[in-house]
Amino acid sequence: LDGDGHLPASPTPLALIVAPTRELALQVSRELTWLYDKYGARMATCVGGMDASKERRALSRGAHIVVGTPGRLRDHLERGALDLSALRTIVLDEADEMLDMGFREDLEEILDATPSGRRTLLFSATMPKPIATLARRYQRDALRISTVGEDRGHGDISYQAMAVAPADTENAVVNLLRLHEAETAMLFCATRDNVRRLHASLVERGFAAVALSGEHSQNERNQALQALRDRRARVCVATDVAARGIDLPTLSLVVHVEIPRDAETLQHRSGRTGRAGKKGTAVLIVPYPRRRRVESMLRGAKIPAEWIAAPSAEDIRKADSERLLTALLAPVEISDEDRTLAERLLAERSPEDIAAALVNVHRSRLPQPEELLGNDAPRENRGPRPGFEDSVWFKVNIGRNQNADPRWILPLLCRRGHVGRGEIGAIRIDTRETHFEVPGAIADRFLDAVQRTAGGDDEVEIERSNGAPPPNTSRPRHRDGGRSNAPRKPFKGAGKGPGKGPGTGGPSKPFHRKGPPRKKPGREG
């Protein structure tokens, strides 16, 4: 520092921080800007997805500290825009992740361009052999500091594991979200395709969800994170890499939709919650055939996990009732306008009717819970769903021969009948037609809306059925099923949306099914 307590101007960087993702690099840059602002430090951030010409101008003006991703830093280095000849310190953050992402050559080129006397700080959640090799090559007299104690679990995180049928993975996610009603939840998937598929399904079900994966631009990532911070979204579906560096203070639930590759990844994912003294929950959704492998992984990592049953629809309804009672019985400040409206309501209806209507409105706004395979009792042994005691059955001329699936039939029925998802009951798919139930109280209104919305060339015909279909016609399918083979293409006329995911006019593959092998994605940054 000079006599004024400021850093003297420097034509070349004095410190370089390398991070695996744009989000983490931008977060580090923001923190360092705040930390060194009073010392007059000049910062330059170089990440993929941003304007490279602006970054080069910032470097040419002189920056004390540069923060960036490996690919973009290497690009500036090769173009002569980044001069590391006077560098004093280099920091590799999330070094293990950068090697996993294929940045070894980039890192080696960057490190080889730095002075031999520079100080090297290497941070890594795990210490596999490639990291140790990198440290031996580029560090001298290195001191290794480990913050991992004998108890590998996080004291503020409650670990749970849930064994489900492979076909029920998506429905188990829905029920977990509905049971916890977490302020913010993060769902981890292994690939960007699964992120896209699960996100589309959750949005169609009514969840306020955002997605983060390598296919999203920096602007899209910023918008998604801002939606989570503003509480406009409560669920984030992400890949491991895309979620690096994200810090959400309200995050209380982490769901491992797909099993982590190792215990270190499990802990790194789960560590997004349970921060700053707050409690968090991490849940692994485990397909039945992989339970032994998960038990072995947890045992080897000394992570105490409680095996729990998947929450049933009844469990969720009970939790909803308790949450509603708590909210309604909490002391609130009532305005004169509210009292006036209450008096008008009491003049027209009884207190019981008003309370029941309030409960109905509250429930209609919530995503419907799912019936899981493991929770199914035979249909004949179960009572009707609440509100469907006097249901009326309808049918539509789409069946298994036309690749019918509840995931796209349900939005079609809601759109044609001007009803909500909660007003469509069981869906039974037969060979050439599909039967579904509607509460008797709205059956006439539903039929009238269906007739009004029918087009002259519409091949989808919806009409009242002569009673319920025989029990052996088809197994009841509840909301986006997950119990049938994935239809390969939608029935003509079923919808005209531009996409291929849920809610866009056509079916998508079920979450648990894998597509053909894809080429290894290019590096990010």
Residues 6+ apart with CB under 8 A from 183: 231, 234, 250, 251, 252
More confident residue, 393 or 101: 393
Instruction: Determine the number of helices (DSSP H) and then strands (DSSP E) in the chain.
Output: 16, 16
434-478 confidence digits (pLDDT tens)? 999 998 888 898 998 888 887 766 678 899 988 777 764 444 444
Q: What's the mean pLDDT when you consider all of the chain?
A: 80
- pLDDT class for 214, splitting at 50, 70, 90? confident
Same domain, 266 and 342: no
Alpha-carbon separation of residue 315 from 18, 223, 359 (angstroms): 47, 34, 17
Segment 406-435 shows an average pLDDT of: 84
Same domain, 185 and 308: yes
The answer to whether residue 331 sits within a structural domain is yes
Same domain, 100 and 24: yes
Query: What is the per-residue pLDDT for 451?
Result: 87
Which segment of 41-45, 61-65, 291-295, 491-495 scores lowest on mean pLDDT? 491-495
CATH number of the domain at 428, please: 3.30.70.330
The answer to whether residue 6 sits within a structural domain is no
Residues 6+ apart with CB under 8 A from 57: none
Dist. CA 49–CA 40, nearest whole Å: 27
- pLDDT class for 81, splitting at 50, 70, 90? very high
Packing angle of the helix pair 129-138, 104-112 (nearest 10 deg): 10
Q: How many residues does the chain have?
A: 525
Q: Cα 413 to chain center, whole Å?
A: 27
Is pTM beyond 0.85 here? no
Dist. CA 481–CA 171, nearest whole Å: 8
Domain membership of residue 117 as a residue range: 15-138
The answer to whether residue 487 sits within a structural domain is yes
Same domain, 235 and 325: no
Same domain, 119 and 186: no
347-397 confidence digits (pLDDT tens)? 988 888 888 888 888 777 788 887 776 544 444 444 556 667 778 999 999
Same domain, 325 and 405: no
The answer to whether residue 53 sits within a structural domain is yes
Read off the tokens for 424. Answer: 């469509």
Dist. CA 227–CA 246, nearest whole Å: 13
Segment 27-36 shows an average pLDDT of: 89
Q: Find residue 438's DSSP bridge partners.
A: 392
The answer to whether residue 523 sits within a structural domain is no
Same domain, 278 and 336: no
Same domain, 163 and 102: no
State which of 74-78, 216-220, 421-425 shows the largest mean pLDDT.
Answer: 74-78
The answer to whether residue 4 sits within a structural domain is no
Q: Find residue 16's DSSP bridge partners.
A: 66, 90
Query: What is the per-residue pLDDT for 432?
Result: 87
Which segment of 22-26, 78-82, 368-372 scores lowest on mean pLDDT? 368-372
Dist. CA 284–CA 304, nearest whole Å: 12
The answer to whether residue 342 sits within a structural domain is yes
The answer to whether residue 148 sits within a structural domain is no
Under DSSP, is residue 256 helix (H, G, I), strand (E, B) or coil? strand
Kind and range of the H or E element at 18?
strand 15-18
Query: What is the per-residue pLDDT for 155?
Result: 62
309-360 confidence digits (pLDDT tens)? 999 888 998 998 888 888 888 888 888 888 899 888 889 888 888 888 888 8
CATH number of the domain at 252, please: 3.40.50.300
C-beta separation of 458 from 493 below 8 A: yes
Nearest-Å Rg of the Cα atoms of the chain is 28
Same domain, 307 and 326: no
Same domain, 382 and 509: yes
Q: Percent of the chain beyond pLDDT 90?
A: 28
Same domain, 248 and 180: yes
In total, how many domains does the chain have? Answer: 4
Same domain, 98 and 123: yes
Instruction: Pick the last residue of a domain from 272, 295, 312.
Output: 312
